[in-house]
Structure 1
């Protein structure tokens, strides 16, 4: 765990430590599922129920849990503020203004059950705020995450109880825009 995650403004070290334990659980379950997939009975594969089907469904849940948490933790620990350069320009191009984008992202955080993901759509060339109700529900194909917000209760309950809005404000105070900008820049070089 990067030490700067234990010094966030408005998000306690305890919350991050407990949150990181959940992330470790997703890593362990992903490895367990992939090991079981090596030997699972494929002759009984069935779309209603089969051990193979269940492992495949849960592989997407656990693996996306790992990846989304890595992106979330990776875009924390910064000074907040606003993005600069190409990412800022892309947000304004996609949303008309930074303020409109920020308002939409925050509102999406209140509306989502799990995640808000600012993603670059490889097909239309725009940035979009997507809501995912679970690690494997609401994920859009051919999009690349730029900024990820975890809005599951475990991300804020210790510090804020049911006050998700205040947690989202704290998240914005800790965004590492340099990390988000680097993700976006990496896409531009393709």
Structure 2
């Protein structure tokens, strides 16, 4: 079956004032839709048809630019929409909170490290919170649409929180003020979903 653009669980304007409706609409209905269509075209008639996106990315031939870029774009954005929520669902707690504190000392230091990874990613890319088997967490960033599931990517593990720092994700509202966009992101994180992903991946 072909991959389908996932429906958002909230309206395009639901994340305002942190992320504006016009950006969300373009980002989802144009950019993510483009990655979805291009991924389907790239795998059509190949042995990748019918495989899960996680299987495709984990066993990716990194020289296959079409699948690398569009498969990454499809997966990354699917995660991105799910780890945000307008209602501020949940607070960081439980095993994930303990894992973050074990790695970074406290939440504020984690936020500093994550924000720095997002702010200093040169050009386009993503910042990630990943979990390794056993539960250890790690922050990293990747260029373009690469992500930690792909072979040879710097931090590895399973991504459970991701922030898109491509300019299309924030430029209409924040222009060149990427740090302001990063700060705003922390107001819309769906920690219940991040914790669910942590428990599943560890």
Give the TM-score of the pair, scaled to structure 1. 0.82
User: Greater helix share, 1 or 2?
Assistant: 1
Q: Do the aligned partners of residues 98 and 185 (structure 1) sit closer, same or farther apart at CA in structure 2, a change above 3 Å counting? A: same
1:132 maps to: 142
Secondary structure of the residue that 1:79 maps to in structure 2? coil
- CA drift at 1:56: 2.3
Q: CA RMSD in A?
A: 2.3
The answer to whether the 8 Å contact 1:81/1:172 transfers is no
Deviation, structure 1 residue 180: 0.4
Q: What is the TM-score normalised by the length of structure 2?
A: 0.77
Match of 2:130 in 1: 119
Paired with 2:110 and 2:90, the residues of 1 have a C-alpha distance of 14
Task: Report the CA distance between 1:184 and its aligned residue.
Answer: 0.5
How much has 1:136 moved relative to structure 2?
2.7
CA gap of 1:161–1:184, structure 2 versus 1, over 3 A, is: same
User: How far is 1:141 from its partner?
Assistant: 7.0
Residues 5 and 129 of structure 1, relative CA distance in 2, 3 Å threshold? farther
1:145 is aligned, of 138, 159, 162, to 159
- Shift >3 Å, 4+ stretches: 137-142
Asked which structure has the greater CA Rg, the reply is 1
Residue matched to 1:89: 98
Compared CA separation, residues 128 and 5, structure 1 to 2 (3 A): farther
1:109 corresponds in structure 2 to 118
